[in-house]
Amino acid sequence: MRAKSAMFLRLPLSGLLVLVLTGCINQDMSDLQSYIKEVKARKQGEIEPLPEIQQIETFAYKADNRRNPFEPTDQESPEEAQADVNGLAPDPNRRKEELEGFSLDALRMVGTLRKDDTIWALVRTKDKTIYRVKAGNYMGRNHGQITRIDENDIELTEIIPNGQGGYRERQASLALKE
């Protein structure tokens, strides 16, 4: 009995579905047809051609008498080689200090402290961290060693490349900023 009642329910539902689909097919689609014709009639845009790929000349490495670029050399380091030119060079074995990671432009002298006979300078970085330095400390990216501190400025001696394979000294200072 239950199967018959389910069949009687399916029959009207399937008939209703056929009517709905028939209604969709018979609708007036002239506006859609005219829009499609309009889009097809538009002028087609031009696509720029791809840029021409330049051929790169290949190089086949032949070792012959050349050194292997993937093996370390037994030569001295560039710092040692440049030290031979005029005897002046930064010490490659010296441990870097914290303020050597900043350029001098990024550092500001903000004050001094005196304890016994030692004058300490207070230096602030851009991230607002304050460091205490004294004569003999290093700061700046050019191997700058502090030579003198007074209440108004810090004087340094930097070691910079001279452009001819060696190094030269340059004087620099950091003035007190209030």
CATH numbers and ranges of domains, the chain: 78-175 (2.30.30.830)
Q: Residue 26: its pLDDT value, please? A: 58
For a pLDDT cut of 90, what percent of the chain falls above it?
38
pLDDT at residue 155, as a whole number: 94
pLDDT score, position 82? 47
Q: How far apart are CA 106 and CA 140, in angstroms?
A: 9
pTM for the full predicted model: 0.52
Whether 169 contacts 158, CB under 8 Å: yes
The reported pLDDT for the residue numbered 68 is 75
Give tens-digit pLDDT for 52-91: 988 888 887 777 887 777 776 655 455 555 445 567 888 8
- Supply 26's token pair: 């018979």
Residue 35 binned pLDDT confidence (cut-offs 50, 70, 90): very high
Q: Please tell me the predicted confidence (pLDDT) of residue 158.
A: 93
Burial annotation 38-74 (CB, 10 A radius, 16+ → b, else e) = eeeeeeeeeeeeeeeeeeeeeeeeeeeeeeeeeeeee
- More reliable by pLDDT, 16 or 111: 111
